[in-house]
Amino acid sequence: MAGMMAYDEQRILEMLRDDEVSRRRAFEAIVRNFSEPLYWQIRHMVLSHDDANDILQNTFVKAWTNIESFMGYSRISTWLYRIAVNETLTFLNRQKMTVSIDTGADEQNICDTLESDPYFDGDETEAQLQAAIATLPDKQRLVFNMKYFNEMKYEEMSDILGTSVGALKASFHIAVRKIEDYFNRND
């Protein structure tokens, strides 16, 4: 693709400190490079394609609005994931406040949402896995998704979430145990 530059973090950081045109080009490269992984990080938390798209958009709007305050102390990906995580948790908290359903109905609601989503192409096992993940508390669900789906290292998760590596490992293992229990109960 002509005109598209390869993603080079150092070059992007330099361009972000440059003039408005360079800053916009750098941000376009950031969006191109991180849209898909951020979308899936968000999507595994909210399940709905439309909600994930809205949160992704909010993430990039917030990033662009605050781009001048980004100091480069962390990697751009870490900064973006932190924004995406915060936007996702804010969305989930708002959703919990507006909808309170008992757990059984909630699990059925999750399965119905997945099955009716034209963008979900998983099989029954994948739907069950998503339902199991959805029963986890937000923080455990976040850690599980980052580790299982994104294969993120604990150190990177620690930077994004501001939580110790040990606590993240514990969260992940507890989440795995809860998911296994879910599958054992629903066999």
Q: pLDDT of 177-186, one tens digit each?
A: 999 999 999 8
**How far is the CA of 173 from the CAs of 44, 54, 121, in angstroms?**
18, 30, 27
The structure tokens listed for 29 are 């490269």
Separation CA 9–CA 156 (nearest Å): 16
- pLDDT given for residue 29 in this prediction: 95
Q: Domain 1-100 classified CATH 3.40.50.2300?
A: no
Separation CA 29–CA 144 (nearest Å): 28
- pLDDT given for residue 99 in this prediction: 63
Closest CA to 112 of 48, 45, 183, 41: 48
- End-to-end, the C-alpha distance of the chain in Å comes to 49
pLDDT over 50 (residue 102): no
- pLDDT given for residue 71 in this prediction: 79
Q: pLDDT of 117-172, one tens digit each?
A: 555 456 677 778 888 988 899 889 999 999 998 899 999 999 999 999 999 999 99
**Residue that has been written with the tokens 């989503």 in this structure:** 117
User: Coil, strand, or helix at residue 99?
Assistant: coil
pLDDT over 50 (residue 103): no
- pTM listed for this prediction: 0.76
Higher pLDDT, 103 or 182: 182
Q: pLDDT of 16-66, one tens digit each?
A: 989 999 999 999 999 999 999 999 999 989 878 999 999 999 999 999 999
- pLDDT given for residue 101 in this prediction: 45
- pLDDT given for residue 104 in this prediction: 43
Domain ranges of the chain: 1-100
Cite the DSSP H helix spans in the chain: 9-16, 20-46, 49-65, 76-98, 103-116, 124-134, 138-148, 154-161, 165-185
Separation CA 8–CA 5 (nearest Å): 8
